[in-house]
Amino acid sequence: MKKTFAFSIFGLMLSPMAFGATPWWERGTICQISPTDCYSHMGTGYDTELWDTTDKCWGMKLICPDALIATEYAPVPVSRSDIRAGNKIKSDFDTDELNGDCFGVRKTVSNGAMAMVNGKYVQVWCNGVPLDSPDEYLPNGVITYADAPTCAELAEYGYVASENKKCYGKYYDPAQYYIKCSGDNLLPERIVVLNGADYTMASSDMPADKSAAEDMFDKMESISQKQRSKYFSDN
């Protein structure tokens, strides 16, 4: 009796009627990899054939080598969880921005005139500004990882560290302007329009003392008043 009962159970297990006519590979008890995509739109910068084990979906972003903490020479696929947590990725880079065939662009502000380096924003120097060795080229210019050039170093070549549209570094022709730097300030104390004067040569008619300077100033004021009355009217 026991043998007959055991045979009946075995036959029931083999019978397709036990689970209906559904093939075994389509039954709900079979583990299947989710067909869900990790990203709604995947094109350049994604590997759609990779399985993201942490998020249980298909597709991984390719992160550019410069944006990765570890030294790499080609784009690396990174899971969504690691991207959200900032794992493996330098905080100076925005991995939402496509950079060619991978994601990871250095963060910028002020229309690209300032770029983040080691957590701080630094000037993006316009092309042509004299730098000893630019460390990185960006769309609006170059940046250096070292200290910014001094006012005197820039002035030697006629440049001032002021914003110039989408980068830093305005040029002043040394034949027309004198850039006066002061201390460790990056910006100059003043920019003097030369009007043809040679600022390196001392004037021969400089006032000798205070009294002479006051006389010269009085004459200048008198001439100015005469010119004003000649060309301007109070009416």
pLDDT number for residue 10: 41
Q: Tell me what the mean pLDDT of segment 62-86 comes to.
A: 95
Is residue 230 over pLDDT 90? no
Residue 146's contacts (CB-CB under 8 Å, 6 or more residues apart) are 135
Is the confidence at residue 81, as pLDDT, over 70?
yes
Q: What distance in Å separates the CA atoms of residue 49 and residue 62, rounded to the nearest whole number?
A: 12
Residue 15 has pLDDT above 60, yes or no: no
Q: Are 42 and 27 in contact (CB under 8 A)?
A: no
Which pLDDT band holds residue 16 (cuts at 50, 70, 90)? Answer: very low
Q: Give the tokens for residue 91.
A: 């905080």
Per-residue pLDDT at 231: 54
Lowest mean per-residue pLDDT among 14-23, 41-50, 81-90, 174-183? 14-23
Residue 48 has pLDDT above 60, yes or no: yes
| % residues pLDDT > 90 (the chain) | 54
**230-233-235 Cα angle (round to 5):** 160
Least confidently predicted of 145-159, 177-191, 205-219? 205-219
